A = this chain, B = another copy of it.
Amino acid sequence: MPMQFVKYHVRDKYLKTDRLPHIWCPGCGIGSILNAFLLGLEKANIDPDKLLVVSGIGCTGRVAGYLNMDTFHTTHGRAIPFAIGLKIARPDMHVVVFSGDGDLVTIGGNHFIHAARRNNDLLVILVNNLNYGMTGGQVGATTPHNAITTTTPYGNIEDDFNIPFLAAAAGAVYVARWTSLHVRRLAWSIAEAFHRKGFRLIEVISQCPTTFGRRNKMPNGLDMLKWFRDNTIVKHNADLRETRIELNRKIVIGKFIDIKDKPTFEEQAYGLVEKVRGVKRGE
């Protein structure tokens, strides 16, 4: 049977289709990750009306705007504190933070580690495209050592963050890392994480051919996906001292941390209400 040309896609119900095509470049990984997210949502059986999605600023930050749900495109680096307030106001809803590496761990790094410490009940999808896409490809705290970017024309002299290690050290209860090629495992991981509580982080290494790939000998999205294919190794519960990303080493992916019973900030905050008032909330 030949290709069936149609007008609608199976995921369209989740999307603001009047905003498509999205602004992401041809070959960008963000669309695939968004796609996997929606699959995960479906697998986890989450009612989209019980889901709030918060993004920061950046290419990834545009995710919120394409979702046909209640969504928030905040300021650069501040998606997490916004989401903290939102979740406290509506502890009955799922709150997902979906944003870029620069947004979440460079400018927003402090909110990230403190939310992990407090165990704020957020699912964070961090798209790590190894640079700042939106502003044209500058170095980020996630850019590997020696990589070329517009602000490291001679090669990056800094080391990058080992995000899973940082998240774990700060207190995250669920930590996994996939790539934009591993969309299926990613979707499963997202579905699983939806059924955990507390501060959950899923880092997704993604390709930015336009600004990162181009300067690092992988000008197309496909080149970068092949790099992910050939340079990743799945190692669940890996020693997190070994998970930093380096250009000439295998990228360790997998599920690293999964703690099920740590009370969340919200449970404790509303627990306090009950303790102090001696009654159940809402009474």
A interface residues with partner B (beta carbon < 8 Å): 106-110, 113-114, 117-119, 141, 154, 157-162, 165-166, 168-171, 240, 265, 268-269, 271-272, 275-276
Contacts and interface: CB of A to CB of B under 8 A. Distances in A.
A161 B117 CA distance: 6
Nearest to A167: B169
A141 B162 contact: no
B170 A166 contact: yes
B269 A157 contact: yes
Given A110-B109, A169-B165, A170-B166, A157 B117 contact: no
Given A165-B169, A166-B169, A168-B169, A158 B118 contact: yes
Nearest to A107: B110
Contacts of A113: 109, 113, 161, 166
A158 B272 contact: no
Given A162-B169, A166-B169, A168-B169, A157 B110 contact: no
B159 A276 contact: no
Contacts of A275: 154
Contacts of A265: 157-158
Minimum-distance CB pairs A-B, first 3: A169-B169, A110-B110, A157-B268
B154 A276 contact: yes
B159 A171 contact: yes
B157 A141 contact: no
A119 B110 CA distance: 18
A19 to B, nearest CB: 33
A78 B158 CA distance: 20
A272 B109 contact: no
Nearest to A164: B169
A118 B272 CA distance: 40
Given A154-B275, A165-B169, A275-B154, A159 B118 contact: yes
A260 to B, nearest CB: 16
Nearest to A152: B272
Contact of A272 (B117, B157, B168): B157
Contacts of A168: 169
A169 B109 CA distance: 13
A240 B106 CA distance: 24
15 contacts: A109-B109, A109-B113, A109-B114, A113-B113, A113-B161, A117-B158, A117-B159, A157-B268, A157-B272, A159-B171, A161-B171, A162-B169, A165-B169, A166-B166, A169-B170
A109 B269 CA distance: 24
A238 to B, nearest CB: 14
A241 to B, nearest CB: 8
Contacts of A118: 158-159
